[in-house]
């Protein structure tokens, strides 16, 4: 507090300030005592005065040196701790019981916090490095001068060069300047030293340490599409091979049996019946194979939808009234709803709903319910049956895959293909109310009124 006697404040001072104040008073004490003695005893001779002054000077110098050591040495310790922090060494700690106890305590707490933050930063950096190394996408980071500063292994493989040779090169020297100048998200055909093809290119601005930079991410879309295409062909060929073998095997077996029978001399009395039965088997299997190939052609040659405004409620009602949607005592019941306007191809949507309803009727025990509703920006048509539920298979929408005897395996696949051509989709799941049965859902974009 201003105007308060320092001696009166000494008891409330921090320890270091109290030490400095007391030490300063002690340094001044010899000179003050000598001056007081000379004032009180003016009769002291000249020789004694010089002796007194010399003694006071020597004692003052000694006390000043003592005060200097007591004041400066703790500051040296404090400076050493701060220097260690500045150099990044957070392991040093000061003794908290010294004259600078409060300051040392704060510095120790700061060092501990910085040490924890550096540990977190190193762990995060290590995790980031592992993550970038595991990415299939190529990642490049450039500084404000478009000089390469960071790159993951996928980027190195794309540029097909050693890392030491790439760092420090500019985007133009690496052949990446054109990608950085293009749109921030694009598909581009590009020839890299390590690979060429179709790539998804994304770039964005960065800022670190007050300086700008650029991030470039390159993903090989062509390779992903080729892998998906190869997997799709493998699934398709597996199903095609299975279906063709199911037809050719009995045809081949029956043809061999009939050839053996025809070679017998004389022919048995019932050879006509045997030949008629064998030819009937061959004809049935050939017809089944023809139907299979017809279904394949229908799936492969589906035209693009001709979209017009229509009410999905009318399309659903028309499908539910078709004779093919009923089987035996099982009924298709409509849960009436509001008009549901969409833009679509009525013929294709009818075919998709026919496949879903027929599939539900074949699986139902008693009845099938069809309802429609609007959910946000989507128009939903739900077909619910009370059968055993969807089979546990991930291939339900794979063309020609079927779990039903005599099934073609194109109903669900064709329904999904039609829905996706309308920017929608199809899903087949268990019923949400806990009852046995399946829920087939077809959704389309609803027309905005």
pLDDT at residue number 409? 60
CATH of region 308-445: 3.30.565.10
Instruction: Report whether pLDDT(342) > 90.
Output: yes
The string of pLDDT tens digits covering residues 284-312 is 777 767 766 676 666 666 778 889 999 99
CATH class of 135-224: alpha beta
CA 44, CA 48: separation in Å to the nearest integer?
A: 6
CA 142, CA 28: separation in Å to the nearest integer?
A: 65
Burial-class residue 133 by CB neighbours within 10 Å (0-12, 13-18, 19+).
exposed
Domains 135-224 and 308-445 share a fold: no
Judged by average pLDDT, the poorest of 76-80, 129-133, 197-201, 435-439 is 76-80
List Cβ neighbours of 14 (8 Å cut-off, separation of 6 or more).
Answer: 102
The H or E element containing residue 297 is helix 271-300
The string of pLDDT tens digits covering residues 263-286 is 887 877 777 888 888 888 788 777
pLDDT at residue number 442? 93
Instruction: Report whether pLDDT(39) > 50.
Output: yes
The string of pLDDT tens digits covering residues 214-257 is 899 998 877 666 676 677 677 667 766 766 776 677 778 888 88
The string of pLDDT tens digits covering residues 168-191 is 889 888 888 888 888 888 888 888
Domain ranges of the chain: 1-134, 135-224, 226-300, 308-445
pTM to 2 decimal places: 0.44
CA dihedral 42, 46, 48, 52 (to 10 degrees): 80
pLDDT at residue number 10? 41
For β-strands 148-151 and 138-143, DSSP reports them as antiparallel
Q: Please name the residue that has the structure tokens 């007050």.
A: 210
Instruction: Report whether pLDDT(97) > 70.
Output: no
Q: What is the mean pLDDT of residues 74-80?
A: 78
Q: Please name the residue that has the structure tokens 């046995």.
A: 436
pLDDT at residue number 44? 65
Instruction: Report whether pLDDT(424) > 70.
Output: yes
pLDDT at residue number 115? 84
**Do residues 347 and 298 lie in contact, with contact meaning Cβ atoms separated by under 8 Å?**
no
Q: What is the mean pLDDT of residues 147-153?
A: 90
Average per-residue pLDDT in the chain?
Answer: 79
């Amino acid at each position: 507090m201003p105007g308060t006697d320092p001696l009166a404040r000494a008891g409330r001072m921090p320890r270091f300030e109290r030490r400095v104040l007391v030490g300063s008073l002690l340094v001044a004490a010899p000179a003050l005592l000598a001056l007081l003695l000379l004032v009180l005893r003016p009769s002291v001779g000249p020789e004694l005065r010089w002796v007194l002054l010399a003694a006071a000077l020597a004692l003052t110098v000694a006390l000043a040196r003592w005060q200097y050591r007591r004041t400066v040495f703790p500051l040296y310790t404090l400076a050493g701790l701060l220097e260690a922090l500045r150099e990044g060494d957070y392991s040093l700690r000061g003794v908290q019981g010294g004259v600078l106890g409060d300051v040392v305590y704060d510095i120790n707490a700061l060092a501990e916090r910085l040490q924890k933050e550096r540990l977190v930063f190193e762990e995060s950096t290590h995790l980031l490095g592992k993550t970038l190394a595991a990415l299939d996408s190529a990642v490049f980071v450039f500084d404000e001068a478009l000089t390469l500063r960071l790159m993951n292994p996928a980027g190195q493989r794309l540029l097909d060069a050693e890392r030491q040779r790439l760092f420090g090169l500019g985007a133009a020297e690496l052949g990446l300047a054109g990608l950085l100048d293009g749109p921030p998200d694009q598909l581009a055909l590009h020839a890299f030293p390590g690979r060429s093809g179709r790539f998804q290119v994304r770039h964005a601005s960065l800022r670190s340490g007050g300086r700008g930079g650029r991030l470039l991410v390159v993903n090989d879309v062509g390779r992903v599409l080729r892998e998906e295409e190869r997997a799709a062909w493998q699934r398709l060929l597996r199903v095609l091979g299975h279906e063709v073998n199911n037809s050719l095997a009995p045809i081949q077996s029956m043809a061999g049996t009939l050839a053996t029978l025809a070679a017998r001399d004389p022919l048995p009395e019932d050879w006509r019946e045997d030949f008629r039965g064998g030819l009937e088997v061959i004809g049935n299997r050939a017809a089944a194979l023809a139907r299979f190939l017809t279904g394949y052609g229908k799936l492969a040659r589906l035209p693009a939808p001709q979209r017009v405004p229509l009410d999905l409620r009318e399309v659903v009602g028309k499908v539910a009234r078709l004779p093919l949607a009923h089987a035996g005592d099982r009924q298709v019941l409509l849960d009436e709803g509001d008009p549901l306007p969409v833009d679509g191809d009525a013929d294709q949507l009818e075919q998709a709903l026919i496949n879903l309803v027929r599939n539900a009727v074949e699986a139902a025990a008693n009845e099938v319910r069809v309802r429609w509703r609007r959910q946000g920006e989507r128009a939903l048509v739900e077909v619910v049956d009370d059968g055993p539920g969807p089979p546990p298979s991930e291939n339900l929408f794979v063309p020609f895959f079927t779990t039903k005897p005599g099934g073609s395996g194109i109903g669900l696949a064709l329904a999904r293909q039609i829905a996706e051509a309308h920017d929608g989709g199809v899903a087949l799941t268990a019923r949400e109310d806990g009852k046995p049965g399946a829920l087939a859902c077809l959704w389309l974009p609803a027309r905005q009124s």
